[in-house]
């Protein structure tokens, strides 16, 4: 860590402005609020504190772009080319963007650098896919031709969280643009600077006015105004289940569709024949990545009782060596996003209803105002205990022993969530059996990617939400089907 505050770092900061119809404009009220860095708890810049009137302007700009504007007149291939250009610009600016992400979100620079590669990949993948969404011909009655076409929804709203600000931008907005929608993004107030910078790069890439609009502000003001807006045709939300319910209610009132990605309590199941040398590093990494602030973090380790002592000993040894730090180059664990999140996670640790197995540390030289929490692992946890059921969204692992396959499946499926799971076993039949039995949206066998892979459809069931992001599945979410029946006699 450099021994000066984040405000004195040389960062390429976006202006505290919204992006509306390719113009960079302040909130109409002129209001701004301070952006605090989790690294030191100090303000280092400002963003626009937008109101409903700013959302109105952004939705109007998107509507104009979609209804006959330059955006609507581009071919799918031309849209794709613009997206590839933006992808290249993100890569050109990857280091500046990563430094900005670390300052704004607190994540270790190694992770921020990886995030920028993934963000560019979203625009590359969906840029390449833009002209590859084909329709179908359905055999029907004699004398008829039936075409099934995929059409964009129109104006799509996007509300994203603070945990992967740049990646979430790509994940949510890129497939919508590829399908030809005009978009309005409300990034999270806790971390949105890279989204604003990428907005600047989109204008530089040549996106026509109104294709991409960005309005910053508070969730219960700007976010709410966007989700309830009569002018949007679809909304995509990633965040807490509590807000997810509000988004879905607002969508229902507007008779529009939505996708919700609301987090999880994802299990990794280590059967008695698991390759522990391969599995244990994943048990730790799938949790520690991004400080546990990952919707698909592997937050429960289900371990066959015959392996329990060895796995606990090795996980404990690794956890004890993990140090939350502000180090620029070698940190694996940074601060949490905010004082609120730190309080929440510390509350879970203090009130955990299971024995503490091990705790990591906080480096002695972290800035006093930063939001650092030492990681913690608990076990044996009762599968129904709070620490094994609720999403902590911090570096806290719950370890749970089991005796047989049926019990492992029961425990794995025994929360309100269903996002991701991992199965560690060399037995091929068991791999298939358990993967089929798990109620969630993604299963890894002998591996774990916290949501990993831009190409891979991702999303959950029940309290984890519904709809799919990533892969071609996301293009389908951001479109609807039109069936055209021609009677040619």
Active site residues: 261, 295
Minimum CB distance to ligand NAD, residue 281 (Å):
23
Asked if 153 is part of the footprint of ligand NAD (rule: CB under 6 A), the reply reads no
Residues 285 to 304 in contact with ligand NAD, rule: CB under 6 A: 295
Number of chain positions touching ligand NAD (CB under 6 A): 26
Asked if 27 is part of the footprint of ligand NAD (rule: CB under 6 A), the reply reads no
Asked if 440 is part of the footprint of ligand NAD (rule: CB under 6 A), the reply reads no
Asked if 208 is part of the footprint of ligand NAD (rule: CB under 6 A), the reply reads no
Asked if 57 is part of the footprint of ligand NAD (rule: CB under 6 A), the reply reads no
Pair of tokens at residue 292: 């546990």
Asked if 265 is part of the footprint of ligand NAD (rule: CB under 6 A), the reply reads no
In 254-385, where does DSSP find H-type helix? 276-288, 308-320, 339-350
CA pair distance 165, 156, nearest whole angstrom: 18
Pair of tokens at residue 229: 């807006």
Pair of tokens at residue 405: 């396959």
* φ, ψ for residue 86, nearest 5 deg: -65, -40
Binding ligand NAD (rule: CB under 6 A), the pick from 66, 122, 125, 393 is 393
Residues 455 to 474 in contact with ligand NAD, rule: CB under 6 A: none
Binding ligand NAD (rule: CB under 6 A), the pick from 49, 189, 233, 469 is 189
Nearer to ligand NAD, 159 or 387 (CB): 159
Minimum CB distance to ligand NAD, residue 290 (Å):
10
DSSP per-residue string spanning 53-118: HHHHHHHHHHHHHHTTSGGGGS-HHHHHHHHHHHHHHHHHTHHHHHHHHHHHH---HHHHHHHHHH
Say which DSSP state 394 is in.
S
Nearer to ligand NAD, 62 or 270 (CB): 62
CA pair distance 82, 108, nearest whole angstrom: 30
Binding ligand NAD (rule: CB under 6 A), the pick from 154, 219, 257, 395 is 219
How would you label 234-245 residue by residue, b for 16+ Cβ within 10 Å and e otherwise? bbbbbbebebbe
Asked if 248 is part of the footprint of ligand NAD (rule: CB under 6 A), the reply reads no
Number of CB atoms found within 10 A of residue 206's CB: 12
Asked if 342 is part of the footprint of ligand NAD (rule: CB under 6 A), the reply reads no
Asked if 389 is part of the footprint of ligand NAD (rule: CB under 6 A), the reply reads no
Q: Under the rule (CB under 6 A), what is the footprint of ligand NAD? A: 159-163, 186, 188-189, 219-220, 223-224, 227, 238-240, 243, 246, 261-263, 295, 341, 344, 391, 393
């Amino acid at each position: 860590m450099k021994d000066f505050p984040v405000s004195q770092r040389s960062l390429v900061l976006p202006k505290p402005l919204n992006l509306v119809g390719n113009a960079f404009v302040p909130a109409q009220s002129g209001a701004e609020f301070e952006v605090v860095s989790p690294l030191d708890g100090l303000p280092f810049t400002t963003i626009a504190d937008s109101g409903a009137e700013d959302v109105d302007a952004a939705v109007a700009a998107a509507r104009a772009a979609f209804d006959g504007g330059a955006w609507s007149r581009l071919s799918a291939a031309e849209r794709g080319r613009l997206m590839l250009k933006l992808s290249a610009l993100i890569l050109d600016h990857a280091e500046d963007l990563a430094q900005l992400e670390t300052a704004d979100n607190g994540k270790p620079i190694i992770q921020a650098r990886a995030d920028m590669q993934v963000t560019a990949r979203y625009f590359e993948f969906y840029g390449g896919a833009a002209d590859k969404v084909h329709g179908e011909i359905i055999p029907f009655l004699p004398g008829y031709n039936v075409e099934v076409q995929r059409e964009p929804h129109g104006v799509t709203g996007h509300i994203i969280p603070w945990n992967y600000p740049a990646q979430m931008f790509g994940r949510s907005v890129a497939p919508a643009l590829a399908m030809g929608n005009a978009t309005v993004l409300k990034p999270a107030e806790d971390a949105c600077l890279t989204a604003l910078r990428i907005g600047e790069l989109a204008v530089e890439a040549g996106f026509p006015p109104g294709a991409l609009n960005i309005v910053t502000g508070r969730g219960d003001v700007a976010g709410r105004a966007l989700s309830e807006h009569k002018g949007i045709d679809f909304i995509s939300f990633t965040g807490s289940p509590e807000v997810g319910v509000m988004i879905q209610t607002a969508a229902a009132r507007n008779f529009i569709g939505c996708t919700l990605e609301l987090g999880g309590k994802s299990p990794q199941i280590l059967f008695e024949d698991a390759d522990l040398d391969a599995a244990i590093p994943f048990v730790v990494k799938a949790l520690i990545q991004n400080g546990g602030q990952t919707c698909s973090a592997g937050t429960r380790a289900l371990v066959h009782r015959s392996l329990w002592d060895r796995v606990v000993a090795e996980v404990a040894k690794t956890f004890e060596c993990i140090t939350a730090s502000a180090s620029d180059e070698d940190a694996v664990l940074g601060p949490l996003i905010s004082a609120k999140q730190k309080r929440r996670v510390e509350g879970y640790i203090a009130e955990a209803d299971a024995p503490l197995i091990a705790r990591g540390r906080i480096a002695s030289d972290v800035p006093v105002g930063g939001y650092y929490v030492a990681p913690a692992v608990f076990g044996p946890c009762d599968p129904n205990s709070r620490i094994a059921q609720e999403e902590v969204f911090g570096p806290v692992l719950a370890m749970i022993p089991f005796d047989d396959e049926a019990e492992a499946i029961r425990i794995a499926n025994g929360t309100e969530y269903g996002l991701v799971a991992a199965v560690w076993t060399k037995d091929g039949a068991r791999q298939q059996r358990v993967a089929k039995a798990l109620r969630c949206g993604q299963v890894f066998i002998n591996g774990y990617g916290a949501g990993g892979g831009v190409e891979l459809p991702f999303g959950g069931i029940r309290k984890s939400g519904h709809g799919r992001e990533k892969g071609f599945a996301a293009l389908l979410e951001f479109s609807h089907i039109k069936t055209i029946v021609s009677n040619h006699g």
